[in-house]
Structure 1
Amino acid sequence: MWWVPLRTARLVAHILRGNHITQRQNKRDPARQAELVRAWHEKVLWILNIEIHVRGSLPENAPQLWVSNHISWLDIPLLGSLAPHAVFVSKQEVRSWPVIGNLAAAAGTLFMQRGSGSEGARPAIAEGLLSGRHIVIFPEGTTTDGHKVKRFHARLFQTAIDCRASVRPIAIRYRLPDGRLARSAAYIDNDHILGSIGRILATRRLIAEVYLLETIDTHEPTTRNQLAELAQQRISQAIHPSIKRQTDTNP
């Protein structure tokens, strides 16, 4: 695996670059800072040799609630590379992850304490939507290996209804070049962030597929449970037909 030392060196240098971006954020125009963070995310994927396939159109200017299945910490740079003004809602432990936590905070991520529910995040999500931002949530509340989409928790969908913002379901899948699901990308169970990074560094090539699915209009009378169920169904339908029922733990 000759590529591992080279990628590691590049990643370390890029981490130092990320620290510089976060340390000087208050000295930059917010739009410039957001674009620097987006570009940083994009280069992380390049360093790790992750080929990105995006299906569907990029988001319109109107604010949207992005809802995605959740597989890995890679989901953050993956979705963060698509639009400079996307704001994430994530679990509190992400804040302590090396570099990614600092960059997420610099980009405006809303961190939620485990078990605290959604009440603390809802006002901030509403403020973000009303100010024209795209808010990204992972409504499964946990990560999976990508084989299936777990039930979506509906509470945060209420904010989209209250703000009359559309919901954009987004499906994510990581696979190997031969089509098998890339188990090496998943960050689940008792994984440690450094072990996960090492596993991805050792995987020669990964393909990340992002399906930007049809938006769901919240202007019509609907409930948060209906929204959550419809978004989950669309994401499941997007990824399930193309998933082979075998996984890979080796590069």
Structure 2
Amino acid sequence: MAAAWQSQDAPVRTDPIGPLGWALVVLRGAILGVVTFGCLGLLLLVRLVERPLCGVNRPVTPHITQFVCRAAFRILGIRHSVRGTPMREGGAVVANHASWLDIFALNAPQRIYFVSKDEVRDWPGIGWLARATGTVFIARKSREAGVQARLFETRMAAGHRLLFFPEGTSTDGRRVLPFKTSLFQAFMTEPLRAELHVQPVTVIYHAPEGADPRFYGWWGDMDFGSHLLKVLARPRQGAVEIVFHPPVEARDFNDRKALARHCETRVRGAFPV
């Protein structure tokens, strides 16, 4: 995983949270917590039956995750819209990365499993949630490509769509960083390359009226807690737009660099000028 991206321009200081903001923090936070952790408990109970019966297949629990992600935007008051169509095939989805909100934004319109750096597995709280929802943990090293490819084959054979953030870090939501090609090497190994579909997806955040255009971006040394409070406290929220580009087949590209370049071009091309 690359080091956190740093902007040349420091984030605009956020005004102190007032009484209305704190009321929204308590109200939205409580509802979001109940929905998230209540459904997580339900997911774990269902998984007790689903796992021995279905193994790596998850015919039920992804619907619970998707429900939580859709509900999150209603609770927060953030408008969520979609352009294009999620692919039906199992395969890889690659998207730009701007915020922790991406997890909700990308899960809401489709049933997917995130691919994350291996260290996240041991993070307090977040690692546990990631494991429960079927996240795939990998070491982002070229020499691990063969092992990763076999892991991807197993999951995709079960019809899973695995979502990657090829930038390797989150940004301020106003740009797309160059895609790292090491992840794409796993897509080019046989037999995965022969049948793998890859769909580029662009995540575009629109800040609340009057707010810093980078309002939803999460980067640099920002801590999760203060960023979450800022979002919860905002009376009038902005929006997030998910753009699904046509999927491509890995076998149509000569190498990982060509595939990465194509996906990066599509993702960047949907950003507002």
Q: Larger Rg: 1 or 2?
A: 2
Please identify, of 154-163 and 208-217, the stretch whose mean Cα deviation from structure 2 is larger. 154-163
Native 8 Å contact 1:170 1:210 kept in 2: yes
Aligned-pair distance for 1:221?
4.3
Native 8 Å contact 1:152 1:228 kept in 2: yes
Native 8 Å contact 2:207 2:216 kept in 1: no
Identify the residue that residue 59 of structure 1 maps to in structure 2. 87
CA separation in 1, counterparts of 2:129 and 2:159? 21
Alignment of 1:5 with 2:26, yes or no, is yes
Alignment of 1:217 with 2:238, yes or no, is no
- With normalisation by structure 1, the TM-score equals 0.84
Please identify, of 161-170 and 13-22, the stretch whose mean Cα deviation from structure 2 is larger. 13-22
Please identify, of 70-79 and 155-164, the stretch whose mean Cα deviation from structure 2 is larger. 155-164
- Residues paired across the two proteins, number: 239
What stretches of structure 1 move > 6 A for 4+ residues in a row?
114-117
Q: Which runs of 5+ in 1 are unaligned?
A: 242-251
C-alpha spacing 1:127/1:179, structure 2 compared with 1 (3 Å): farther
Deviations 1:35-90 (CA, angstroms, capped at 9, x unpaired): 11221222222222221110001222x22210000011111121122223x11111
**Secondary structure of 1:185 counterpart:** coil
Deviations 1:105-159 (CA, angstroms, capped at 9, x unpaired): 2221012357797535333222222332111000000011112111111122233
Q: Which runs of 5+ in 2 are unaligned?
A: 1-20, 51-57
Deviations 1:165-221 (CA, angstroms, capped at 9, x unpaired): 121000001112549774232121112222221121122313011010122222324
Q: Percent identity over the alignment?
A: 28
1:33 to 56, 61, 86: 61
Native 8 Å contact 1:69 1:139 kept in 2: yes
Return the structure number with greater relative CO, CA threshold 8 A, min gap 6: 2
Native 8 Å contact 2:84 2:243 kept in 1: yes
Identify the residue that residue 121 of structure 1 maps to in structure 2. 148
- With normalisation by structure 2, the TM-score equals 0.78
Identify the residue that residue 226 of structure 2 maps to in structure 1. 195
Give the root-mean-square deviation of aligned CA atoms: 2.5
Identify the residue that residue 108 of structure 2 maps to in structure 1. 81
